[in-house]
């Protein structure tokens, strides 16, 4: 075999391997996105007024015992296909202890996610997570965090399209709380005061990374004010 033919052969093989690797990465990405969506949808479908009450009681008991590690954002890592697969397997084999305490919807950007207690990976792989131990819907500043992903339609990524005047809905399956967005801004990750209560205000605050870039230092913040509360029909 001539030298030229060898180069052509190895060059073709290299291109084939690159193509297969690219297909593999695309498949992993699609599988991750599907699994994240599936986990969130399953959590929402399993949620009832009774299950929410029980989940809140469990969270209150843990807080009373000083077990607040679920709220330590430093323990939260960027999602990977392996992380997502692990939680998918836990769900499949009935090993998951996740229970939603509510649902978050922003119709203008197609966001519809379960709300879990704290910001652990098990919570944020499914949807939104509460940032404070004792927060309650419709009172104070109800603060939620979520992942910003490269896929623009999952988790908190759609928040990039939120504008002032959009509605944000929270529900605990007993009441539905409608907030109207009053401010959208980007701030440094260390400006944690954005989740503090504001005297005389009933707010919701949504926080996510400003981009999907690894190590992103800035945070996108969505702030809304409570406009109405309606009882959920039985």
In whole angstroms, give the CA distance from residue 41 to residue 50. 18
In whole angstroms, give the CA distance from residue 166 to residue 226. 12
pLDDT band at 9 (very low <50, low <70, confident <90, very high): very low
pLDDT band at 152 (very low <50, low <70, confident <90, very high): confident
Give yes or no for a contact between 219 and 208, defined as CB atoms under 8 angstroms apart.
yes
Tokens read off for 62? 């843990």
Q: Are strands 167-171 and 175-188 parallel, antiparallel or unpaired?
A: antiparallel
More confident residue, 212 or 182: 182
pLDDT tens per residue, range 87-123? 888 888 888 889 999 999 999 999 999 999 999 999 9
DSSP 3-state of 23: helix
Query: What was the pLDDT predicted at 3?
Result: 54
Q: Is 147 a catalytic residue?
A: yes
Among candidates 73, 149, 155, 48, which has minimal Cα distance to 106? Answer: 155
| Averaged pLDDT, 14-43 | 58
Q: Annotated catalytic residue: which of 38, 45, 191, 209?
A: 209
Q: Is 45 a catalytic residue?
A: no
Relative orientation angle of helices 3-46 and 81-92, to the nearest 10 degrees? 40
Query: What was the pLDDT predicted at 156?
Result: 97
Give yes or no for a contact between 165 and 112, defined as CB atoms under 8 angstroms apart.
no
Give yes or no for a contact between 173 and 47, defined as CB atoms under 8 angstroms apart.
yes
In whole angstroms, give the CA distance from residue 92 to residue 134. 31
In whole angstroms, give the CA distance from residue 213 to residue 105. 25
Give yes or no for a contact between 225 and 201, defined as CB atoms under 8 angstroms apart.
yes
| 27: pLDDT strictly greater than 50 | no
Q: Annotated catalytic residue: which of 23, 38, 45, 147?
A: 147
| 7: pLDDT strictly greater than 50 | no
In whole angstroms, give the CA distance from residue 184 to residue 138. 20
In order of start, what are the domains of the chain with their CATH numbers?
3-231 (2.40.260.10)
pTM for the whole structure: 0.84
């Amino acid at each position: 075999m001539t030298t030229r033919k060898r180069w052509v052969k190895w060059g073709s093989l290299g291109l084939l391997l690159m193509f297969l690797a690219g297909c593999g990465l695309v498949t992993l990405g699609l599988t991750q996105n599907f699994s994240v969506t599936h986990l969130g949808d399953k959590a929402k479908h399993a949620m009832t007024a009774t299950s929410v009450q029980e989940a809140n009681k469990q969270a209150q008991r843990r807080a009373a015992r000083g077990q607040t590690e679920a709220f330590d954002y430093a323990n939260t890592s960027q999602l990977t296909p392996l992380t997502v697969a692990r939680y998918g397997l836990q769900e499949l084999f009935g090993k998951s202890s996740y229970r939603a305490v509510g649902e978050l919807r922003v119709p203008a950007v197609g966001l519809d996610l379960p709300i879990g207690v704290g910001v652990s990976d098990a919570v944020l792989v499914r949807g939104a997570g509460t940032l404070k131990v004792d927060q309650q819907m419709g009172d104070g500043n109800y603060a939620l965090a979520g992942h910003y992903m490269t896929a623009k339609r999952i988790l908190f990524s759609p928040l990039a399209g939120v504008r002032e005047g959009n509605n944000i809905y929270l529900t605990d399956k007993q009441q539905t709380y409608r907030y109207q967005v009053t401010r959208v801004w980007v701030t440094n990750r260390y400006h944690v005061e954005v989740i503090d209560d504001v005297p005389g205000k009933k707010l919701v605050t949504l926080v996510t990374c400003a981009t999907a870039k690894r190590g992103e230092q800035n945070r996108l913040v969505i702030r809304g004010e409570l406009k109405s509360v309606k009882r959920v029909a039985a």
